[in-house]
Amino acid sequence: MTAGAATGQAARLGWPLVWVGELGSTNDLARLLVGAGCPEGAVVVADRQTRGRGRQGRAWASPSGGLWCSVLLYPSADLPQGLLSLAVAVAVAETAEQFVPGPARIRWPNDVEIAGRKVAGILIETAGAAVVVGVGINVGIELQVMPPEVAARAGSLHLIAGRPIERRAVLEALLARLADRYSAWAAGGEAVSDAWSSRDMLRGTPVAVLHSGPAIEGIAEGINREGALRIRTATGAIRQVVAGDVHQICGPSDPSG
């Protein structure tokens, strides 16, 4: 596929597939594949990343046992870009639920958690006309190999399920769910926002959003149709946040009373 190829029909993802033992970052290699003219649907997988990264430039622990992958997409520029990361988060949540007892919930914008433990993260980057969708899923990781601050809130699918889980099976499930959600997003996005909202773990809770300006505090009120987080402040005003770090905070259930 080429730029603008996303349609209402399910996209074909997974070819070509580049699977390597160790890599700095799958997103970085995927960006090189864009320059080489690789088509939409190309996938890079690494058994281990040495320079994995998450949102806001944070390091992403990527030891052996996880599924670290990047998918190339060439979406039309006139599609609702703010909803793409939410569509990916829904696909990842649906994938996790195929292998473990659910439910998988989403912390805005796209961290996937099960039973309060983060099992997956997403980093989406642009590369010219392409979008590189990076996904990290803790499939078979033993938490003791993770940095202590990460292990404290991380989860691993095989520990939740109580059995070994094959990474290739998770990859195949992920690509199938991602193709469906990508097509739904390209068809308008309403189904994506509805599916994301049904998994929203922050709605109705007190939060603080840290961004380039002063922190925004209030009650999370879900998302708008473009994927921005809605926060009701103590004055009753609704602030809409498109980027930032969201933290749940202690406080009254209603800032207006």
Q: How far apart are CA 61 and CA 126, in angstroms?
A: 22
Look at 4 and 244; give whichever has higher pLDDT: 244
pLDDT digits (tens, 9 = 90+) for 61-82: 678 899 999 999 999 988 888 8
Q: What is the pLDDT of residue 57?
A: 54
What is the C-alpha separation between 246 and 257, in angstroms, rounded? 22
Q: Which of residues 161 and 243 earns the better pLDDT score?
A: 161
CB under 8 Å to 149, separation ≥6 — which residues?
Answer: none
Note whether 135 and 60 are within 8 A (CB): no
Return the pLDDT at 3: 38
Q: Structural domains in the chain?
A: 17-197 (3.30.930.10), 206-248 (2.30.30.100)
pTM for the model: 0.89
Task: Tell me the per-residue pLDDT of 163-203, one tens digit each, with 9 for 90 and over.
Answer: 999 999 999 999 999 999 999 999 887 889 999 999 999 99
* Distances, alpha carbon 98 to alpha carbons 54, 102, 144, in Å: 24, 8, 25
